[in-house]
């Protein structure tokens, strides 16, 4: 006979993605507002729904707290890297969110894509999850199947489902996902006995956490005092764009690629010819010309590939030229992840997070060192 007194909880991770569609409003029914965020108790481990309709609509949506690093000194740490600690003691602080709304006018059409991932527990999983996040910080780490990692797998599942649904809409009818309005995740835990629900709004674990700015106005306007014309001529436009895109990118795969592309940019900029290899290839070319003249054209086609330095070799040259310590293990790990992503292979979130953590400090450091090599200091 089943134990009817045994406690159980249902954890539902959900994600919403709102879009304003480019559509004729009169062709649609009013938006079904009562169906928003209404999980119907599906027994499926992963499910979704898609809602569309015309306005008017004003709906309060998932809102997220803002995290920042607070520290003791009176002035901000210059060149602090998001999420990475310095020698300054810092603690993670949270600013509660303000109200956020999705709003449609009467002549506008909205599309909502929502996915749910469900898991059953025999203990209060939400309380343990919050405890594990508090004690281990906000950065993802590869490791054992803790409650934190199990919950994050649920979030990963709903994120992937929403990504797929958006992509399919974009292929068939891009007009339906024409303008992104809002996207966020939420965690709900339901007591199976009392039906009481607890809601936990999930801050993006992929987001980078900044230091809270704490300095006088002149420091805030620091860029105004830099030699912008000279900087503009120092070949830093592309890496600066890639770096800033990475700061606001929530999708970990895309953010990592933007960061790694900064490394590739400078590797190419500081690439050097392997003179010893060039001498060897030139001698080999002479022998081919003398003894295998009918293969000389083929050798000429291959010569460029043979002489081209590898990315790792160029990175070593770059780091050496700029006076940066080259940690080959960390860079190789990041390159492996980059190679997989570039070839469309699936990569575990934990592997991406670990690779990104190793190179996150390098894009701004490479830019600063390159500018210094061109006689431009950002140290104020």
Question: What are the structural domain ranges in the chain?
Answer: 9-202, 226-272+309-373, 275-307
pLDDT reading at 191 higher than 50:
yes
Distance CA 234, CA 17 (A): 40
Span 131-147, average pLDDT:
58
For tokens 């104020």, the residue is: 380
What pLDDT score was predicted for residue 39?
66
Percent of the chain residues topping a pLDDT of 90: 34
What pLDDT score was predicted for residue 247?
85
Span 8-32, average pLDDT:
91
State the pLDDT confidence band at 366, using cuts at 50, 70 and 90. Answer: very high
**Dihedral of alpha carbons 259, 260, 264, 266, sign:** positive
What pLDDT score was predicted for residue 2?
47
Give the lowest-confidence range in 3-17, 145-159, 364-378: 3-17
Distance CA 124, CA 7 (A): 9
DSSP letter at 198 equals E
Return the higher-pLDDT residue of 199 and 116: 116
What pLDDT score was predicted for residue 160?
87
Query: Using an 8 Å Cβ cutoff, are 17 and 180 in contact?
Result: yes
Query: Using an 8 Å Cβ cutoff, are 262 and 363 in contact?
Result: yes
Give bridge partners of residue 58 from the DSSP assignment: 103
Ranked by mean pLDDT, the top range of 16-25, 94-103, 133-142 is: 16-25
State the pLDDT confidence band at 30, using cuts at 50, 70 and 90. Answer: very high
Return the higher-pLDDT residue of 207 and 247: 247
Q: Which residues have C-beta within 8 Å of that of residue 155, sequence separation ≥ 6?
A: 13, 15, 117, 185, 187, 202, 205
Return the higher-pLDDT residue of 31 and 218: 31
Distance CA 242, CA 260 (A): 9
Q: pLDDT of 43-70, one tens digit each?
A: 678 889 999 999 999 988 766 666 676 7
Q: Rounded mean pLDDT of the chain?
A: 81
Span 335-359, average pLDDT:
90
Ranked by mean pLDDT, the top range of 88-102, 168-182, 195-209 is: 168-182
Q: pLDDT of 235-294, one tens digit each?
A: 999 999 999 998 888 788 899 999 999 999 999 999 876 666 666 677 777 776 777 777
Distance CA 278, CA 280 (A): 5
What pLDDT score was predicted for residue 142?
43
Q: Could you tell me the pTM of the whole model?
A: 0.71
Query: Using an 8 Å Cβ cutoff, are 74 and 214 in contact?
Result: yes
Phi-psi region of 245 (alpha: psi -120 to 50; beta: other; left: phi over 0): alpha
CB atoms within 10 A of CB 300: 11
Q: Is the peptide bond before 56 cis (omega within 30 degrees of 0)?
A: yes
Ranked by mean pLDDT, the top range of 28-37, 76-85, 215-224 is: 28-37
Q: Return the structure tokens found at 296.
A: 């000389």
Query: Using an 8 Å Cβ cutoff, are 7 and 121 in contact?
Result: no
């Amino acid at each position: 006979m089943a134990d009817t007194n045994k406690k159980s909880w249902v954890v539902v991770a959900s994600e919403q993605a709102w879009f304003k569609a480019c559509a004729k409003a009169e062709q649609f029914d009013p938006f079904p507002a009562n169906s928003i965020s209404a999980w119907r108790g599906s027994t499926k481990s992963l499910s979704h729904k898609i809602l569309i309709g015309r306005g008017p609509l004003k709906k309060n949506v998932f809102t997220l707290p803002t995290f920042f690093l607070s520290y003791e000194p009176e002035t901000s740490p210059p060149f602090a890297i998001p999420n990475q600690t310095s020698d300054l003691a810092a603690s993670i602080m949270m600013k509660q969110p303000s109200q956020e709304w999705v709003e449609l006018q009467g002549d506008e059409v909205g599309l909502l894509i929502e996915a749910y991932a469900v898991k059953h527990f025999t203990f209060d999983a939400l309380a343990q999850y919050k405890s594990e996040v508090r004690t281990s910080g906000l950065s993802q780490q590869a490791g054992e199947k803790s409650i934190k990692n199990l919950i994050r797998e649920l979030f990963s599942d709903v994120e992937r489902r929403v990504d797929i649904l958006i992509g399919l809409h974009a292929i068939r009818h891009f007009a339906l996902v024409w303008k992104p309005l809002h996207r966020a995740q939420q965690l709900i835990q339901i007591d199976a006995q009392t039906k009481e629900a607890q809601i936990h709004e999930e801050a993006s674990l992929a987001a980078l956490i900044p230091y809270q700015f704490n300095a006088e106005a002149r420091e805030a306007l620091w860029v105004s005092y830099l030699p912008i014309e000279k900087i503009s001529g120092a070949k830093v436009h592309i890496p600066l764009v890639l770096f800033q895109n990475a700061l606001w990118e929530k999708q970990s795969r895309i953010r990592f690629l933007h960061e790694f592309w900064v490394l590739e940019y400078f590797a190419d900029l500081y690439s050097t010819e392997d003179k010893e290899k060039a001498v060897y290839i030139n001698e080999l070319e002479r022998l081919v010309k003398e003894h295998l003249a009918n293969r000389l054209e083929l050798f000429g086609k291959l010569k460029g590939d043979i002489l081209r330095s590898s990315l790792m070799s160029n990175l070593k040259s770059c780091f050496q030229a700029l006076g940066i310590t080259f940690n080959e293990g960390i860079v190789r790990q990041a390159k492996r992840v980059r190679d997989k992503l570039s070839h469309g292979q699936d990569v575990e979130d934990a592997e991406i997070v670990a690779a990104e953590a190793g190179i996150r400090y390098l894009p701004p450091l490479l830019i600063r060192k390159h500018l210094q090599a061109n006689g431009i200091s950002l140290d104020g």
